[in-house]
Amino acid sequence: MKLLRYFTPPDPWKIPVFGLLAALLGLGIYTLNIANAFSYLSDEPEVCINCHVMNPQYATWQHSSHREVASCNDCHVPQTSVFEKYWFKAKDGLGHSYMFTFRLEPQVIQIKSEGAQTVQGNCERCHEQLISEVNLADNEEIFHGDGKYCWDCHVETPHGSVRSLSSTPQAQVPNLGSPVPQWLKKLQESE
């Protein structure tokens, strides 16, 4: 009770402080809604194209053999535990939102070291039987040593070797619809 009184503003400041807090809360909820923030909890591939800079990656994946068996998260997010999966998604997503909001994204998106390790681990997890059958695991130093990854040889899988915003400017991706709420559209139309 004493702690609550410590954080309660004096009577003359209550209305402005609570009004400001309510406005910030409403702005935060609106931002979460317009950014489709809760969609990032799912494994749907369309979530990755909430931001248009991922359209080439989505379009190239959509035309690959992996489309039928793996979503973006199956390859790019750790699958070892639920906690690690959502921790990685939160950390990576915040980094992406910062880069895209401030237009710091490169023309050609390159995977970072942690992401590359994750994708490599998921390649080995999904293709474990294939690797063991051809005895690649015993020759790991030859095939995957010296910093080599699966996609160093399998370069066309699943995104192809040519992908960037300029190489696929008209990439066909699902239309996600406008983030503008209906009430705002009606207001704009009435003016």
Residue 184 inside a domain? The answer is no
Contact yes or no for 78/118 (Cβ under 8 A): yes
Instruction: Name the band, by pLDDT with cuts 50, 70 and 90, for residue 106.
Output: confident
Residue 146 inside a domain? The answer is yes
Clarify whether residues 55 and 91 are in a common domain.
yes
Clarify whether residues 115 and 79 are in a common domain.
yes
Q: Is 171 a residue whose pLDDT tops 80?
A: no
Residue 71 inside a domain? The answer is yes
Clarify whether residues 73 and 160 are in a common domain.
yes
Q: Is 87 a residue whose pLDDT tops 90?
A: yes
Q: What is the CATH number of the domain that holds 120?
A: 1.10.3820.10
What is the share, in percent, of the chain residues with pLDDT greater than 70? Answer: 82
Q: pTM above 0.75?
A: no
Clarify whether residues 55 and 95 are in a common domain.
yes
Q: pLDDT tens digits for 52-76? A: 778 888 888 888 888 899 999 999 9
CA–CA gap between residue 13 and residue 15 (Å, rounded)? 6
Higher pLDDT, 180 or 104: 104
Clarify whether residues 25 and 49 are in a common domain.
no
Clarify whether residues 66 and 114 are in a common domain.
yes
**DSSP-assigned letters across all residues of 8-76:** SPPHHHHHHHHHHHHHHHHHHHHHHHHTTGGGGGS--GGGGGSSGGGHHHHHHHHTSGGGGT--HHHHH
Q: 74 lies in which domain range? A: 45-172
Instruction: Name the band, by pLDDT with cuts 50, 70 and 90, for residue 189.
Output: confident
Among residues 34, 36, 58, 62, the alpha carbon closest in space to that of 48 is found at 58
Clarify whether residues 60 and 152 are in a common domain.
yes
Q: What is the mean pLDDT of residues 79-96?
A: 91
Residue 60 inside a domain? The answer is yes
Contacts 24+ apart (CB under 8 A), 166-172: 166/107, 167/56, 168/55, 168/56, 168/59, 168/60, 171/55, 171/56, 171/58, 171/59, 172/59
Q: Identify the pLDDT of residue 138.
A: 54
Q: pLDDT tens digits for 130-164? A: 877 765 555 555 555 556 788 888 887 888 776 66
Residue 20 inside a domain? The answer is yes
Residue 182 inside a domain? The answer is no
Clarify whether residues 70 and 93 are in a common domain.
yes
Q: Is 177 a residue whose pLDDT tops 80?
A: no
Q: How many domains does the chain have?
A: 2
Among residues 73, 39, 45, the alpha carbon closest in space to that of 59 is found at 45
Among residues 7, 36, 38, the alpha carbon closest in space to that of 21 is found at 7
